[in-house]
Amino acid sequence: MVAIPGYARRPSLTAAWVALLSVAREYSGMAYTFRIHARIPDLIPALIPALALTLTACSGDDSATSDTSSTTATTGTTASTGDATDTTGSTGSTGSTGSTGSTGSTGSTSQTTETTTDPGTTMEGTGNDSNGECVEESVALGSGESSPLGFSADEALVGLLGPRTGSLTWVDELIISEEFRGQAMPVTFGIDYDGGEVHYVTATDSGEFPDPSCVDRIEIGVKVDLASDGGEFAETRDGMVWTSSLGELQLKTVDLIPPGLSGSLDTAALMGLDLTLDTLDLSASLSADEASGGVNGEASDPDLGSIGYGGLASFAVGAPE
């Protein structure tokens, strides 16, 4: 199953709910925060859907949504002399720089400075989750043109195009209505290539712990299809797949809502707890034998507003037909 990264919204929280939110994060394994727009007495019933969505989130790497601010800690020490006897002066450490000290008879001063980098996105020289930077350069290629990886886009797509059949299953949680909760539906999923753009991306990660997505790769523009036998999904979107080796592809997130579904899925009937589905997207990992992925979305509550983003369904399909 492909891992679907989550993200957090970070509006100011009512202090009374910080402890409860910490517990919810421990259960979910992901960093979700919620908007609080009501008085504390009104929040008890309204918090239920927010907590329910939190508990359904797939366990993942919380570092994808951690917000580490840049900090600079500086400590200095000064030693002074007495009448005829040298003295040693030291000061306690500040932040995470550790203790520093100096010894002398002439009032010498020493200083230690440490700076940490604020992690952010991983595109075009901005920070990533490994406390470094992913610097990328992109060069256009023809679909049949060999890349520095030793293969072309045409070769990368061999055996991976075409429709695949399987099933999509909605999560068995309260955020999904009883009508859909835990239910599976037959689906057809696949990608096709019709001359989309091809780029070779060179990526350099300066972080201590390299980001697995910061790699040299081929990116290929494709058509993505998701359809269900009952007509709930009948979607065709432009998408982007990438790979660093033959035999597998990663599909970057494809938006379904907005713009809106072509299928008949009633998103109002889909959501439980009087929630409104604001966004819907899908991601997937493909090999010659199978493909798997997730349908994810952001939901909102009439009182709380946006309560977070997480997995709503997963799907698994077989080899291309």
* pLDDT score at 212: 80
* pLDDT score at 232: 97
* pLDDT score at 207: 74
- What one-letter code names the amino acid at 10? R
* pLDDT score at 133: 83
**Closest CA relative to residue 5, chosen from 60, 73, 86:** 60
**Closest CA relative to residue 277, chosen from 249, 297, 253, 305:** 297
Which has the higher per-residue pLDDT, 225 or 23? 225
Per-residue model confidence as pLDDT tens digits over 20-36: 333 343 434 333 333 33
| Confidence bin at 43 (pLDDT 50/70/90) | very low
| Confidence bin at 41 (pLDDT 50/70/90) | very low
Helix 40-56 and helix 18-28, axial crossing angle in degrees, nearest 10: 10
Could you write out the DSSP letters of every residue in 4-37?
A: -------PPPPGGGHHHHHHHHHHHSS-------
Q: Virtual CA dihedral for 180, 183, 186, 190, nearest 10 degrees?
A: 80
DSSP label of 181 = T
pTM of the complete model = 0.62
pLDDT of 3 above 70: no
Per-residue model confidence as pLDDT tens digits over 142-171: 999 999 999 999 999 999 999 999 999 999
Per-residue model confidence as pLDDT tens digits over 44-100: 454 555 555 555 544 444 433 334 333 333 333 333 333 434 434 433 433 433 434
Query: Residue ranges per domain, the chain?
Result: 15-63+119-317
Which has the higher per-residue pLDDT, 40 or 215? 215
| Confidence bin at 197 (pLDDT 50/70/90) | very high
pLDDT of 228 above 80: yes
Per-residue model confidence as pLDDT tens digits over 94-119: 343 343 443 333 343 333 333 333 33
Contact yes or no for 294/226 (Cβ under 8 A): no
